Amino acid sequence: MIDQSPLRVASIPAGHPYVRNLAAPEPPHRVRRLADPIPPVADPLPGQWWPPVMLGRDWVDRHHDDFDVMHVHFGFESTDPTTLRQWCADLARRRRPLVVTVHDLVNPHFADQREHRRLLDVLIPRADRLITLTPGAAAEIERRWQRPAEVIGHPHIAPLDWTPPDRPDRSERPDEFVIGVSVRDLRANVDPLPVLQALDAARPGLPGTTVRVDLHPGIRERTDDRARALLRWLDARRTEPGWQIRTHPRYTDEQLLDHLHELDLSVLPYGFGTHSGWLEACVDVGTAVLVPDIGYYAQQHGHPSFARTADGVDAGPFAAVLARVRRDPSVARPPRPDRRAQRRDIAAAHERIYRAALAQRQ
């Protein structure tokens, strides 16, 4: 008889919205994910990121009786290949299967990808089962590591019961169109200046268009050339019509959804990457998205893309695709999936993968 008792899954991490939304939306819950262990520091701040405790040198040996399956998502950049190799060996010795979801074939937080590649070279060959989010990523994994990965789409970001606020009333200005470019804290893969320059060149052909740029306050304290060049360019446009440069603290989850809902179009300013949770949030709230033709963003929901080159963005083709979206935003706003039904399918697929991996180990 097949054991259908709830599986105990140690997720790295457990508290991320993506991981939380892998659970079935209603009972029965046949997978129970362990909470993230509290780091061994005095008075840890709620919500602060810490290196995953579960990746610690002795954690598997001390806690192998507490979980059935280990599932790695994010955060392993906090370790090194030698330590990660031993950690995988500890799992194998304790007969605990390892499932890895490959979210990022390149790490969006680092310009230098060499260490990330080394870590993937440890994790991917040693995983009992692999998951990724798009067919293109699965094909790249097969090509680079000769390992198959099951494709399971990204779950929702907005709560299933999220109710959108009313969009701004534009009845008196029906031609108004708001494009958002989120810079935030200018992480490594955010390269907004070529996108902003292309938008600036395209705006004369897009009457009524406003470009809204969002920054976090900490960017003004940065002294690197990349941040300084961006701020000089933006500061020169603060008083120009059609530009809104807004600096504010990081949004709460609810504020972020409201912000995205106010936009007609979000342009992703990424210079490299693989998949995007920001894009998924836009899908949830009904905001159109224009994505760069890098990574596998366009495969998540079929959004239109623009070409990023080594020199930035080709302004002519960018303006053409932007004009097409401006005329008909629906081309950049694919139908929103039935997120509740999708989540049921995602939960069932994960349980199936966990049980198969466990059966293989035992």
- The count of structural domains within the chain is 2
Is the CB of residue 263 less than 8 Å from the CB of residue 287?
yes
Domain with residue 252: its CATH number is 3.40.50.2000
Query: Distance between CA atoms of 32 and 22, rounded to whole angstroms?
Result: 11
Residue 156 lies in a domain: no
CA nearest to 215, candidates 259, 192, 184, 190: 184
* Residue 169 is assigned to a structural domain of this protein: no
In a domain, 98, yes or no: yes
The reported pLDDT for the residue numbered 51 is 83
User: To 10 degrees, the CA torsion angle through 297, 140, 82, 36?
Assistant: 40
Q: Are residues 207 and 316 in the same domain?
A: yes
Helix (H) or strand (E) segment spanning residue 71: strand 69-72
Within a domain: 219: yes
Asked if residue 187 lies in contact with residue 156, where contact means CB atoms within 8 angstroms, the answer is: no
Q: What is the mean pLDDT of each run of 10 residues along the chain (362 residues)?
A: 78 95 95 90 67 93 98 96 98 98 98 98 99 99 99 98 73 79 97 97 94 97 96 96 96 96 97 98 97 98 94 91 95 96 98 96 80
pLDDT of residue 38: 84
Q: Is residue 172 part of a domain?
A: no
Give me Rg for the CA atoms of the chain. 22
Q: Are residues 187 and 322 in the same domain?
A: yes
As a whole number of angstroms, the distance between CA 61 and CA 93 comes to 9
For residues 189 and 321, membership in a common domain is answered with yes
Which structural domain range is residue 244 located in?
177-327
HSE toward the beta carbon, residue 327, CA cutoff 13 A: 6
Do residues 80 and 125 both lie within one domain? yes
Same domain, 30 and 80: yes
pLDDT value of position 1: 41
Are 311 and 351 members of one domain?
A: no
- The HSE-up count of residue 292 (CA atoms within 13 Å, CB side) is 26
The encoded tokens of residue 27 equal: 């009972």
CA distance 97 to 90: 11
**Do 308 and 347 share a domain, yes or no?**
no
Based on the fold, state whether residues 13 and 98 are members of the same structural domain: yes
Whether 211 and 264 share a structural domain: yes
Do 124 and 205 belong together in one domain? no
Does residue 165 belong to any structural domain of this protein?
A: no
Statement to judge: residues 256 and 357 lie in one domain: no
**Is residue 14 in a domain?**
yes
Give dist(CA 147, CA 132) in Å, integer.
Answer: 12
Q: Answer whether residue 284 is part of any domain.
A: yes
Q: Based on the fold, state whether residues 137 and 212 are members of the same structural domain.
A: no
Q: What pLDDT is attached to residue 177?
A: 95
